[in-house]
Amino acid sequence: MKFFIDTADVAAIAELNDLGMVDGVTTNPSIILKSGRDILEVTKEICGIVSGPVSAEVVAMKADDMIKEGRKLAEIAPNITVKVPLTWDGLRACKVLSGEGRMVNVTLCFSANQALIAAKAGATFISPFVGRMDDINLDGMELIADIRQIYDNYGFDTQILAASIRTVNHVTQSALVGADVITAPPAVIKALANHPLTDAGLAQFEKDWAKTGQKIL
């Protein structure tokens, strides 16, 4: 499974990238707002750190304007993935941009039917929002599993990018049902290393080692 980092925090991206934990990055207008930086500037900096896909989202609502914005964003770096919403205009933009050889991430997916038509429109990635499904008492993982089955049934190349990942359990479950990619905040990625039994075991080892009176260095 690939790990994308859902942030525009350059320092956090660089830290995780040095550990080999970053296969790509996703951003959106809310993340850009939180960064407090210019979208073109911060996205270019991220692309200089990460060699994998970096999603930058259009903000227009009409297809022709999305296409223009997408082309502008794609000029930032070769690894830019243009992010478009799952609307008919977004799908029109996806078809054109993917036809030009650009990577396209179709976002805000909440149904298997939406994922199906995004794949037919040439999406590189489909982004089902797991956490937001859970918020309204729907099963986000069931959606991932349904998309996986449909894509496998018909040989679609579109990668399932599980988004709105909020917990380490979301990561585990996404991997089990066959998501190709997860995108999560840095804190969730770091939390994957945590376990109370690891902490307890380490504490016991330190206690016992102190009793030996020995040193390695």
Task: Give 131's pLDDT tier (boundaries 50, 70, 90).
Answer: very high
| 57, 29 contact by CB (below 8 A) | yes
**Catalytic pick from 83, 95, 190, 207?**
83
pLDDT tens digit sequence for 149-206: 999 999 999 999 999 999 999 999 999 999 999 999 999 999 999 999 999 999 999 9
Question: Sign of the C-alpha dihedral, residues 100, 101, 105, 106?
Answer: positive
- Span 76-90, mean pLDDT? 98
Asked if CATH classification 3.20.20.70 holds for the domain at 2-212, the reply, yes or no, is: yes
| 188, 10 contact by CB (below 8 A) | no
Q: H-helix or E-strand containing 106?
A: strand 103-109
pLDDT tens digit sequence for 31-82: 999 999 999 999 999 999 999 999 999 999 999 999 999 999 999 999 999 9
pLDDT attached to residue 198: 98
- Span 2-13, mean pLDDT? 98
Where do the structural domains in the chain lie, given as residue ranges? Answer: 2-212
Q: Could you confirm whether 120 is annotated as catalytic?
A: no
Q: Is the pTM of this model over 0.85?
A: yes
pLDDT tens digit sequence for 100-127: 999 999 999 999 999 999 999 999 999 9
Please tell me the total number of residues recorded for the chain in this structure: 217
**What does the buried/exposed string (b/e) look like for 162-198 if buried means 16 or more CB atoms within 10 Å of the residue's CB?**
bbbbbebebbebbeebbbbbbbbbbebbbeeeeeeee
Tell me the chain's radius of gyration from C-alpha atoms: 20
Work out the burial of residue 215: count CB atoms within 10 Å of its CB; fewer than 13 is exposed, 13-18 middle, 19 or more buried: exposed
Question: Sign of the C-alpha dihedral, residues 156, 76, 17, 187?
Answer: negative
